[in-house]
Amino acid sequence: MDDYALTDGTVWLSRPTTDDVDTIADCCREPSVGEWTTVPVPYHREHAERFLTDIVAPGWADGLPTWAIRESAAAKPVGMIALMRRELGDPSAAEIGYWLTSRARGTGLMTRAVRLSCDFGFTRLALARIEWRAYVGNHASAAVARRAGFRYEGLMRLGGLQRGVRRDSWIAARLAGDPDDPAPGWPADI
C-alpha cells in the first residue's frame, strides 16, 4: 500500500519514520501511555526502532496503516493511531488503536484522528466494521470512541492481555454506515 497522509487542517496523520524514533521513545515513556497500551515498560529507543520495522512497515505493506499524529505536516508526533486486523483472513474488519501524549490531550486531536482513520478505513480499505477496545478504566479513550461514533457493545471479562496479565476490556464498534457523530447507548459510568 502506498503511504497516505491524511489531514483535516487541524490534525495531520502520516507514516512515522526513522526521524521520529526519539520522539516516539520519549512519548512512550509517559506512564499513562504504558498504563493503557501494550507498549513495553520501560520503553527504550530500540523499542521505537522495532516498532517501525516490525509493526509499521509490515502493516503498511499489508494495507493496515499506522500513522503518527501531528499538529502540523512537519511537526513531531504527539501520538499514534493504527488500523489492525482482529482476525487473520478477514479483510472486512479492523481494530483501531491509539495513544496521545499528555500535552496534546483535551485538544480534540484524537477525535479528529479517529474520524479521519475510520473514513479512510471505510472508503479506501472497504471495511465493514472497525472495533475499538480499551482496558476498563480508560475513560479518555472511551470518550474519544463515543464522540467518533462508536457504539458500545459491552464488557469483555479478562478480554485483554497486557504484558502477560489478563484485564477486563470494553468493546465498541463503528460500522461503515454509522455516522461519526457522538453515539448513544454508552453506560453512564464509562
**Tens-digit pLDDT profile for the chain (190 aa)?**
788 899 999 999 999 999 999 999 999 999 999 999 999 999 999 999 999 999 999 999 999 999 999 999 999 999 999 999 877 778 999 999 999 999 999 999 999 999 999 999 999 999 999 999 999 999 999 999 999 999 999 999 999 999 999 999 999 999 999 999 999 999 999 9
Distance CA 20, CA 31 (A): 20
Instruction: Say whether the peptide bond before residue 184 is cis (omega within 30 degrees of 0).
Output: no
Per-residue pLDDT, 87: 73
The answer to whether residue 187 sits within a structural domain is no
Which residue in 142, 107, 152, 130 sits closest to 11, CA to CA? Answer: 107
Angle, in degrees to the nearest 10, between helices 109-123 and 139-147: 50
Per-residue pLDDT, 10: 97
Total tally of structural domains belonging to the chain: 1
The answer to whether residue 165 sits within a structural domain is yes
What pTM does this model have?
0.96
Per-residue pLDDT, 3: 87
The answer to whether residue 183 sits within a structural domain is no
The answer to whether residue 116 sits within a structural domain is yes
The answer to whether residue 181 sits within a structural domain is no
The answer to whether residue 141 sits within a structural domain is yes
The answer to whether residue 19 sits within a structural domain is yes
Q: What is the CATH number of the domain that holds 160?
A: 3.40.630.30
* Domain interval for residue 127: 6-175
CB proximity list for 20: less than 8 A, separation 6 or greater = 48, 68, 76, 77
The answer to whether residue 190 sits within a structural domain is no
